[in-house]
């Protein structure tokens, strides 16, 4: 395949689509999982051209939707990756919209084992459907998953982090890398994450805390510390809070923080070029600390990184 166009390493942002360049196509569809009697709304962002392209699944956080993290999907599609945003019924916008107490509704959804199980099962279903529907457009040897908060929880367990026996065990070997934005400790704490054996990018902020799981940036970085033997990078953005990464415009201005979006998206593209495309320049840039992409107070560290 022809690799996605080279990222301008010296620029701390994703360049907007150049005048005259093809704009990535967007398709909003609802995929039916007959086996579970479940609809999975998706948003596909397809890069220009018709050559096989790597696929990145994107899983939203609690109360989100397929429209969330648009900044990430747009950057990925603009850089030659297929972005597939999933919407997980039972933990999406429907749980809080028009509710007298949205916070209580979200808290209840976070404790619902069926919602968690369905999230996990949405991943292999979406991969199967993407391969069936996209055919030769999809480079099936280069697939990754990204998620924020509950979406990171979904990604972590899809990549192999241990789960209670009551929940589906679905580590999917088709996933070759993961981006964990506001990682979640999970049921058995950080040691359970050491089962993950693919390259990882961890993203958090110095103010990344929630009242639901009471985790802060230190706990989120504990996932990074607990994993060994696989390439990892972790970034902490100064002053970034939990909602800074959600990109949920429908939930109000507090869920949109564009100052962090560009840095997160640029670093994600850089990481995926290294992890999926064996781009030595991208790997070396991360190994050097990606200083051109960061701002004062941000910090990036690596572990078992070859670049």
Which residues have CB under 8 Å from 255's CB, separation 6+? 243, 246, 247, 248, 249
When pLDDT is averaged across residues 10-23 and rounded to a whole number, the result is 48
Residue 252, classed as helix, strand or coil, is coil
DSSP state of 99: -
pLDDT band at 12 (very low <50, low <70, confident <90, very high): very low
Computed over every residue of the chain, the mean pLDDT equals 88
pLDDT band at 9 (very low <50, low <70, confident <90, very high): very low
Which residues have CB under 8 Å from 54's CB, separation 6+? 4, 80, 81, 82, 139, 142, 143, 144, 272, 276, 277
* Token pair belonging to 232: 């990892």
CATH code: domain 25-303 is 3.40.50.1820
- The model's pLDDT over 208-259, given as tens digits with 9 standing for 90+, comes to 988 676 788 898 999 999 999 999 999 999 999 999 999 866 545 555 567 8
**Which of residues 187 and 290 earns the better pLDDT score?**
290
- The model's pLDDT over 55-75, given as tens digits with 9 standing for 90+, comes to 999 999 999 999 999 999 999
Helix count (H) and strand count (E) of the chain? 7, 9
Where in the chain are the domains? Answer: 25-303
CA angle 232, 195, 77 (to 5 degrees): 50
Strand order in the sheet with 53-59: 25-33, 38-46, 82-86, 53-59, 138-148, 175-181, 200-207, 232-241, 299-303
When pLDDT is averaged across residues 9-24 and rounded to a whole number, the result is 49
- The model's pLDDT over 100-152, given as tens digits with 9 standing for 90+, comes to 888 888 888 888 989 999 999 999 999 999 999 999 999 999 999 999 999 99
């Amino acid at each position: 395949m022809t690799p996605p166009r080279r990222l301008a390493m010296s620029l701390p942002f994703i360049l907007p689509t150049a005048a005259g360049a093809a704009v990535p196509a967007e398709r909003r569809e609802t995929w039916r999982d007959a086996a579970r009697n479940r609809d999975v709304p998706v948003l596909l962002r397809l890069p220009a051209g018709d050559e096989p392209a790597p696929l990145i699944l994107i899983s939203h956080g609690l109360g989100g939707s397929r429209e969330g993290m648009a900044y990430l999907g747009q950057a990925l599609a603009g850089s030659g990756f297929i972005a597939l945003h999933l919407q997980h019924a039972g933990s999406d916008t429907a749980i809080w919209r028009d509710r007298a107490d949205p916070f209580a509704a979200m808290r209840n959804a976070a404790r619902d084992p069926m919602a968690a199980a369905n999230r996990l099962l949405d991943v292999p279903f979406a991969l199967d459907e993407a391969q069936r529907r996209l055919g030769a457009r999809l480079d099936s040897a280069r697939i990754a998953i990204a998620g924020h908060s509950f979406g990171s929880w979904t990604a972590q367990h899809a990549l192999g982090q241990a789960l209670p026996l009551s929940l589906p065990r679905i580590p999917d070997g088709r996933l070759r890398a993961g981006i964990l934005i506001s990682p979640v400790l999970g049921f058995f704490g950080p040691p359970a994450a050491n089962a993950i054996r693919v390259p990882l990018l961890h993203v958090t902020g110095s103010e990344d805390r929630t009242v639901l799981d009471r985790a802060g940036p230190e706990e989120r970085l504990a996932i990074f510390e607990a994993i060994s033997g696989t390439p990892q990078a972790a970034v902490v953005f100064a002053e970034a809070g939990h909602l800074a990464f959600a990109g949920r415009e429908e939930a109000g201005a507090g869920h949109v923080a564009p100052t962090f979006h560009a840095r997160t998206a640029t670093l994600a593209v850089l990481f995926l070029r290294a992890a999926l495309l064996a781009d030595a320049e991208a790997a070396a840039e991360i190994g050097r600390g990606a200083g051109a992409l960061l701002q004062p107070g941000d910090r990036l560290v690596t572990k078992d990184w070859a670049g």
